[in-house]
Amino acid sequence: MALFGFLKKDVPTADMSRLQTDIHSHFIPGIDDGAKTITDSLELIMAMESLGYSKLITTPHVMSDSYKNTPEIILDGLHKVKEALDRAGAKIQLDAAAEYYLDFEFENKIKQRNVLTFGGDKKYLLWELPFVNPPDNLNETVFHMQTQGYKPVLAHVERYSFWHRDYSKYEELANRGILLQMNINSLTGHYSNETRKAAHWLIDNDMISFLGSDCHHLGHIKLLEQALTDKYLIKALASGKILNPTL
Binding site for Fe ion (CB under 5 A): 99, 214
CB of 146 to Fe ion, least distance (A): 22
Do you know the residue count of the chain? 247
Rounded to whole angstroms, the Cα distance separating 72 from 67 reads 13
86: left (phi over 0), alpha (psi -120 to 50) or beta: alpha
Q: Which residues contact 115 (CB under 8 A, 6 or more apart)?
A: 71, 98, 100, 109, 125, 150
> Would you say 67 or 143 has its CB closer to Fe ion?
67
For residues 68 and 26, the answer to whether their CB atoms sit within 8 Å is no
CB of 86 to Fe ion, least distance (A): 26
> Would you say 95 or 99 has its CB closer to Fe ion?
99
CB of 73 to Fe ion, least distance (A): 17
> Would you say 13 or 21 has its CB closer to Fe ion?
21
CB of 24 to Fe ion, least distance (A): 6
> Would you say 141 or 181 has its CB closer to Fe ion?
181
Rg (CA), the chain: 17
For residues 16 and 9, the answer to whether their CB atoms sit within 8 Å is no
